[in-house]
A and B are shown apart, each in its own frame.
Chain A
Amino acid sequence: MFKNNIKIAWRSLKKQPFFTFLNIFGLAIGMAGGLLLGLYIYDDLSHDKMFVDADRIYRINADMKFGGAEERTAEVSAPMAEALVNDIPEVEMATRFRNIGSISIRLQDVMDNVREHQIAYADSTFFNMFGIQLLYGDERTALVEPNTMIMTRTAAEKHFPVDQAIGKTLIINDQEVYTVTGVIEDLPKNSIFRDKPIFLAMSGYEDAQLAEWGNHNYYTFVKLVPGTSGSDIQDEMQAMVGKYLIPYAQRFFPGITEQQFLDSGNYVNYSSIALTDIHLHSGRSPEFSTVSDIKNVYILGAIAIILLVLASVNFMNLSTAHSLKRSKEVGIRKTLGSQRSGLIGQFLTESGLIAIGSLLFAIVIASVAMPFYNNLAGKELSIPYSNPFFWLILLVAALVLGLFSGSYPAFFMSRFVAAKVLKGQGDNFIGGGRVRNALVIFQFSISVFLIMGTLTVFQQLRFIQGKDLGYGKNQVLVIGGVNTLEGKKQAFKDAVVRISQVDHATLSSNLPTPSARSSGTYLLAEDRSQEKSINMQQWEVDEDYLSTMDLSLISGRTFDLDKFATDSSAVILNEKAVAVLGKTPESVIGTQFVGGLEGGGNLSTVIGVVKNFHYETLRDEVGSLALFHGGEFASNLAIKLNGGDVAQTIAEIEGIWRDMAPTQPFDHYFMDDSFNASYEAEQRLGEIFMIFTLLSIIIACLGLLGLATFNAQKRVKEIGVRKVLGAGVGQIVYRLSVDFLKLVGLAVIIALPLGWYAMDRWLQDFSYRIDIPWWIFALSALMAVGVALVTVSYQSIKAAVVNPVKSLRNE
């Protein structure tokens, strides 16, 4: 019986190639989309789960308010790790990391440097903590000694064969000498260590050895004893504020108690987050490595389900519509004694076959699309062909989808009454039209919704990229790694400024585009109480910073070392800092600060105030900022170009660089590119949105095409009669199309408010956002209607030009 079912199903599918194609293609697109999104979500959800004991590893966070700034950091102070192990019995071990960004690295007797990014210092407990095996070297001794390092296989191979790595000497930034004590396999892409090529021994990093409880710069991980969780150490962790932090603060605020500290509205709250939650639930910035957000998983999951439902709906629509052609078959089978259940089985076999065919097709589509998709999603996903479990899931999912999609048509068609269908009288008995209409409305509602989403995301992106940020980022070329020039920094700058295409150039430690930051606590010289202290960004800049970055001064003046020798200890604040201090831009001039508290304190005088500019992404408000004069720690040279041949100018600058630092790589980028990169997540979301919107529209159109075909077939007689009575082609096409357009119109009415609501919620994440403009509604509606019209009109025109003699002949 089953074999017979399959045989008949196969033949009936073969007999209707167009219909079968629509069905399989629609389902396959849905499945391929579902598969790709599923792999993405699985990858996100399994982040960091590969580490042994991952369930016992937690990271310590701190929420702080101090000096007018509230911060939620993923880092804590250097001495906390040791205190955690010593004071809390549940803590088995702790490992600290400190990100230091990019370095130049070369073999001792080789001249050319390699630029490596995302470098971190790590404690020697690193291996034990995460269960990482060394390919070469000894876990117990690697990273123990100062100036030792471990490398991933890829990083090591840039310099020497991995098996010869141990004991090799490498020079970092042309000055620090390191010995390789271990090589590890490249770290998994879906872990917090993704893209980290090199770890340096923390024991050689001076700052890490200091008992500085006030600076929060260390990503600190703890492993708890089995059977305990993060909440078990919460109280003991929080007790460290009174035990260590307050005594430390007393060095600067003599006599301060924990109560006074809290009473002034300040706080430090420690908390822990499970390692496996970091990727999706951290929400802190900066993070140890790029993280995602659970919201994206929800959004993508919703899109995956929507796609599958759309495809399934399509299937139902096409099948029931198609039943007109099969009604006679049903009738004959029934007169021949087939039970209803037998017919249902027959139809379900057919949908099962279609589902499996679609699955194969979907896998082909997915594997072809995979490289583009990875590029788009910024992941390294692959289809796990060799995993039998994957195939099992896929097969079951496809069959469930097929049976689910096939169930409605099967029950629908098996209900036909033999006597009626065999007489072939009228087509109205087939019915089901209302369900089909509802399904079409559903499909197009979703399409309109997605179109709206896509347009809004891109519009917000354009808004961000075009917003006046308070600084000029166009035509600003940045040369990184100028710290490797050492004493020749100023000479390099002077040489660059002499190029005629260069307007200004400035040496600085930080740029307004989102990048690594550093902040510190400052006291007012006139009132050294902790209530009056202020936490600010501390950037080192030179006298050309304001002109190069196009910042506007609202009071006071900029640095001018020639006229004012004291400007080496001057500072320029932004409006926000002035507001936190409770002063006006005019009255703040001349105010003196004490900074660098740990080092004993040095005095700086406010000489100017700049207008606020957006140095964080537009998701955040502008914070307090202080620009100090000094080029000592400058790591980049920003160059404002005045047009001309940019490539030529860059070549010229590179020439100067080569002369001064022949062994260092020339690292340059444009500031607006790096600005755009900080909205990569939104850009990706936008692109993913767009692609899947496109897919859902294709699916919806396939469905509509099928329905239009069916409709035209069903109304053949009517069309014939109307033509005989004098209707023109135009009138017929109008009649056939207008019903569908009504459905699409209804879908638009349903989808627009929903789309508005959802996108308004999404926009709330941005401190600076667009109002959804009216034309997005109009364009979404127009696109849906337009696409539907094109789809429907082909079939309608085809039906309308048929000679009525043909359609009316068969009596």
Chain B
Amino acid sequence: MLLELNNIFKWVTTGGQRIFLLKDINLQVEQGEFISVMGPSGSGKSTLLNVIGMLDTFDEGEYNFMDESVYSLKEKHRANLYKQYIGFVFQSYHLLDDLTVQENLEMPLIYKKVKGSERKAMVADMLDRFNIVGKKDLFPAQLSGGQQQLVGVARALIANPKLILADEPTGNLNSKQGEEIMELFKQLNEEGVTIIQVTHSEKNAEYGSRIINLLDGRMV
């Protein structure tokens, strides 16, 4: 078992009224799964992803990640945990504009305190694997959207995470580029990486081994 959510609730209070963002979520994810989260806008997909990624907190329930109770962890420990095991892919890539492709890839490794020589090797490896060696000195603005997302995925993978969380990774891409990214995810999954993606597209959802549908914060 990679992670386990039991009776997770999350709410905000406006005007004295509780609005539930997540309501009684129960979810078990095994190592090697490829899960697609679907649902209309505002159904809580991104919130769920953020909770799983430990970027956001929840108000009630229990979350165990690799048999550790996330709720009781200190901020620092929690950061270490996701630094170690989780990679993120965003819809709008979120590459740092001032850094080159190579430097963008290097960044998570710096934060993981990987040594310089080792870092170079890992970055070179990743550039090679994604066929973007020629682009390593370019800035994000000089790349197409698909290429940028490729870098985004590479960056998420570089620290060897156990879990990749992707929030509409193809949302800003055209269909051809989107297909390529999804193929890449499928391949990664076959290599043993666990993936949870949020998507609007039925077609993309099909790549997953399991589909979770959300409506108003509830699993349906």
A182 at the interface (CB under 8 A from B): no
Query: B residues 52-66 with Cβ under 8 Å of A?
Result: 53, 55-56
B185 at the interface (CB under 8 A from A): no
A718 at the interface (CB under 8 A from B): yes
Task: Give 1 or 0 for each of A785-811: 1 = CB within 8 Å of chain B CB.
Answer: 000000000000000000111001101
Give bound CA distance, A720 to B96, whole Å.
10
A809 with B108, Cβ < 8 A, contacts A428-B97, A721-B94 known? no
Residues of B within 8 A of A426 (CB): 97, 141
Residues of B within 8 A of A803 (CB): 55-56
Are B97 and A725 touching (Cβ within 8 A)?
A: no
- What distance in Å separates the Cβ of B198 from its nearest Cβ neighbour in chain A? 12
Query: B residues 70-90 with Cβ under 8 Å of A?
Result: 76, 79, 82-83, 88, 90
B26 at the interface (CB under 8 A from A): no
Are A811 and B92 touching (Cβ within 8 A)?
A: yes
- A805 CB contact (under 8 Å) in B55, B83, B96, B141: B55
A726 with B55, Cβ < 8 A, contacts A426-B97, A808-B94, A809-B46 known? no
- What distance in Å separates the Cβ of A739 from its nearest Cβ neighbour in chain B? 11
Give bound CA distance, A722 to B76, whole Å.
15
Are B90 and A726 touching (Cβ within 8 A)?
A: no
Residues of B within 8 A of A724 (CB): 53, 55, 88, 94
Are B79 and A726 touching (Cβ within 8 A)?
A: yes
B112 at the interface (CB under 8 A from A): yes
Interface size class of A (residues with CB under 8 A): 10 to 19
A728 at the interface (CB under 8 A from B): yes
Residues of B within 8 A of A811 (CB): 91-92, 171
- What distance in Å separates the Cβ of A734 from its nearest Cβ neighbour in chain B? 12
Give bound CA distance, A118 to B7, whole Å.
93
Are B96 and A721 touching (Cβ within 8 A)?
A: yes
Task: Give 1 or 0 for each of B1-45: 1 = CB within 8 Å of chain A CB.
Answer: 000000000000000000000000000000000000000000000
Query: B residues 90-122 with Cβ under 8 Å of A?
Result: 90-92, 94-98, 107-108, 111-112
A382 at the interface (CB under 8 A from B): no
- What distance in Å separates the Cβ of B184 from its nearest Cβ neighbour in chain A? 20
Give bound CA distance, A727 to B108, whole Å.
8
**How many residues of chain B are within 8 Å of chain A by beta carbon?**
25
B204 at the interface (CB under 8 A from A): no
Residues of A within 8 A of B95 (CB): 721
A102 at the interface (CB under 8 A from B): no
Q: Tell me which of A428, A718, A811 has the highest count of chain B C-beta atoms within 10 A of its own C-beta.
A: A811
- B56 CB contact (under 8 Å) in A722, A728, A805: A805
B147 at the interface (CB under 8 A from A): no
Residues of A within 8 A of B112 (CB): 726
- What distance in Å separates the Cβ of B162 from its nearest Cβ neighbour in chain A? 15
Are B50 and A805 touching (Cβ within 8 A)?
A: yes
Are B55 and A722 touching (Cβ within 8 A)?
A: no
Are A727 and B111 touching (Cβ within 8 A)?
A: yes
Are A725 and B107 touching (Cβ within 8 A)?
A: yes
Residues of B within 8 A of A721 (CB): 94-96
Give bound CA distance, A428 to B141, whole Å.
11
Give bound CA distance, A149 to B172, whole Å.
98
Are B111 and A720 touching (Cβ within 8 A)?
A: no
Q: Which residue on chain A has the smallest CB distance to residue B76? A: A728
Residues of B within 8 A of A808 (CB): 90, 94
- What distance in Å separates the Cβ of A724 from its nearest Cβ neighbour in chain B? 5
- What distance in Å separates the Cβ of A42 from its nearest Cβ neighbour in chain B? 51
A108 at the interface (CB under 8 A from B): no
Are A725 and B111 touching (Cβ within 8 A)?
A: yes
A731 at the interface (CB under 8 A from B): yes
Residues of B within 8 A of A334 (CB): none
Residues of B within 8 A of A727 (CB): 111
Residues of B within 8 A of A804 (CB): 55
- What distance in Å separates the Cβ of A434 from its nearest Cβ neighbour in chain B? 15
A731 with B111, Cβ < 8 A, contacts A724-B55, A805-B56 known? yes
- What distance in Å separates the Cβ of B97 from its nearest Cβ neighbour in chain A? 6
A717 at the interface (CB under 8 A from B): yes
Are A728 and B108 touching (Cβ within 8 A)?
A: no
Are B91 and A726 touching (Cβ within 8 A)?
A: no
- What distance in Å separates the Cβ of B114 from its nearest Cβ neighbour in chain A? 11
Q: Which residue on chain A has the smallest CB distance to residue B87? A: A725
Residues of B within 8 A of A731 (CB): 111
- What distance in Å separates the Cβ of A767 from its nearest Cβ neighbour in chain B? 57
Give bound CA distance, A724 to B155, whole Å.
12
Are A725 and B92 touching (Cβ within 8 A)?
A: no
Are B108 and A726 touching (Cβ within 8 A)?
A: yes
Q: Which residue on chain A has the smallest CB distance to residue B84? A: A726
Give bound CA distance, A722 to B90, whole Å.
13
- What distance in Å separates the Cβ of A425 from its nearest Cβ neighbour in chain B? 10
Residues of A within 8 A of B171 (CB): 811
- A725 CB contact (under 8 Å) in B46, B50, B108, B141: B108
Q: Which residue on chain B has the smallest CB distance to residue A804? A: B55
- What distance in Å separates the Cβ of B139 from its nearest Cβ neighbour in chain A? 10
Give bound CA distance, A718 to B83, whole Å.
17
Residues of A within 8 A of B91 (CB): 811
Residues of A within 8 A of B82 (CB): 726
- What distance in Å separates the Cβ of B209 from its nearest Cβ neighbour in chain A? 26
- What distance in Å separates the Cβ of A803 from its nearest Cβ neighbour in chain B? 7
- What distance in Å separates the Cβ of A710 from its nearest Cβ neighbour in chain B? 16
Give bound CA distance, A722 to B95, whole Å.
10
- B94 CB contact (under 8 Å) in A428, A717, A726, A728: A717
Residues of B within 8 A of A720 (CB): 94
- B79 CB contact (under 8 Å) in A428, A728, A809: A728
Give bound CA distance, A721 to B76, whole Å.
17
Residues of B within 8 A of A717 (CB): 94
- What distance in Å separates the Cβ of A98 from its nearest Cβ neighbour in chain B? 77
Residues of B within 8 A of A725 (CB): 83, 88, 107-108, 111, 155
Residues of A within 8 A of B92 (CB): 811
Residues of B within 8 A of A726 (CB): 79, 82-83, 108, 111-112
Residues of A within 8 A of B79 (CB): 726, 728
Q: Which residue on chain B has the smallest CB distance to residue A727? A: B111
Residues of A within 8 A of B98 (CB): 718
Residues of A within 8 A of B53 (CB): 724
Residues of B within 8 A of A809 (CB): 46
Task: Give 1 or 0 for each of B153-190: 1 = CB within 8 Å of chain A CB.
Answer: 00100000000000000010000000000000000000
Q: Which residue on chain A has the smallest CB distance to residue B113? A: A726
Query: A residues 718-759 with Cβ under 8 Å of B?
Result: 718, 720-722, 724-728, 731
Task: Give 1 or 0 for each of A24-51: 1 = CB within 8 Å of chain B CB.
Answer: 0000000000000000000000000000
Residues of B within 8 A of A722 (CB): 96, 107, 111
Give bound CA distance, A197 to B141, whole Å.
80
- What distance in Å separates the Cβ of B138 from its nearest Cβ neighbour in chain A? 16
Q: Tell me which of B76, B90, B155 has the highest count of chain A C-beta atoms within 10 A of its own C-beta.
A: B90
Query: A residues 548-583 with Cβ under 8 Å of B?
Result: none
Are A718 and B96 touching (Cβ within 8 A)?
A: yes
Residues of A within 8 A of B56 (CB): 803, 805
Residues of B within 8 A of A805 (CB): 50, 55-56
Give bound CA distance, A717 to B107, whole Å.
15
Q: Which residue on chain B has the smallest CB distance to residue A721? A: B94
Task: Give 1 or 0 for each of A638-674: 1 = CB within 8 Å of chain B CB.
Answer: 0000000000000000000000000000000000000
21 pairs, A vs B, C-beta closer than 8 Å: A426-B141, A717-B94, A718-B96, A718-B98, A720-B94, A721-B94, A721-B95, A722-B96, A722-B107, A722-B111, A724-B53, A726-B112, A728-B76, A728-B111, A731-B111, A803-B56, A804-B55, A808-B94, A811-B91, A811-B92, A811-B171
Nearest first, the 6 A-B pairs at minimum CB distance are A726-B83, A726-B111, A725-B108, A721-B94, A805-B55, A805-B56
Chain A residues at the B interface, C-beta cutoff of 8 Å: 426, 428, 717-718, 720-722, 724-728, 731, 803-805, 808-809, 811
Please give 8 more A-B residue pairs, beta carbons under 8 A apart, in addition to A724-B55, A724-B94, A805-B50.
A724-B88, A725-B88, A725-B107, A725-B155, A726-B79, A726-B108, A726-B112, A805-B56
Chain B residues at the A interface, C-beta cutoff of 8 Å: 46, 50, 53, 55-56, 76, 79, 82-83, 88, 90-92, 94-98, 107-108, 111-112, 141, 155, 171
